[in-house]
Amino acid sequence: MMTPNTSTLHRLAAPWMALLVACFALGMLSPATAAAQDKVEIGVRAILASPEAGAADPELADLQATLVKAFEGYGTFKELSDEKAALALQKTQKFALPDGTAFEVAFKGTTGDLLKLGLSVGDKFKSDVRVSRGSTFFQAGLPYNKGILIIAITAR
């Protein structure tokens, strides 16, 4: 009976070891990638925009320039609420707006690098949007307290 020498065993085992290491590495990466695609962090900020001139709300410093540019004709922006929630795939989160209207966000999955979200403002508005992770976008127009209610939605 012939006994293979050590160099023969190494040569025969090397491709199998490489395959085993590759499978292990892929197995370690796949759950993290899948988990990132199966969850989204949502931030919902309710903002009152009034036509009167006024001081800037320090809570809105990160959005002030964008709000002034996007909502020309409004001089005062005041943050009324700021809520956050983590959403799993195919789950919906309700947020209460200051006027009592329910605002719902549903996480509907991903398309490439974009998140698919379903938005609903009571029975007044319903839409699906695709947004980049980390972006902030606005839904606005509901009359509120001598101004309009702006909903700033951030998806991470």
Is 51's pLDDT higher than 70? Answer: yes
Helix (H, G, I), strand (E, B) or coil at 139: strand
Task: Give the confidence band of 4 by pLDDT, cuts at 50, 70, 90.
Answer: low
Could you tell me if 15 and 57 lie in one domain?
A: no
Residues 56 and 14 in one domain: no
Summary mean pLDDT of the chain: 82
Beta-bridge partner residues of 110:
115
Lookup: tokens for 132: 């980049």
Which residue range(s) make up the domain with 16? 1-37
| Burial class of 126 by CB neighbour count within 10 A (0 to 12, 13 to 18, 19+) | exposed
* Same-domain pairing of 58 and 90: yes
State the pLDDT confidence band at 54, using cuts at 50, 70 and 90.
confident
Task: Pick the closest to residue 125 from 101, 100, 147 (CA basis).
Answer: 101
What are the pLDDT digits (tens) for 71-86? 999 999 999 999 999 9
Res 10: pLDDT: 42
27-41 tens-digit pLDDT: 333 344 444 568 999
C-alpha span between 9 and 105 (Å, rounded): 58
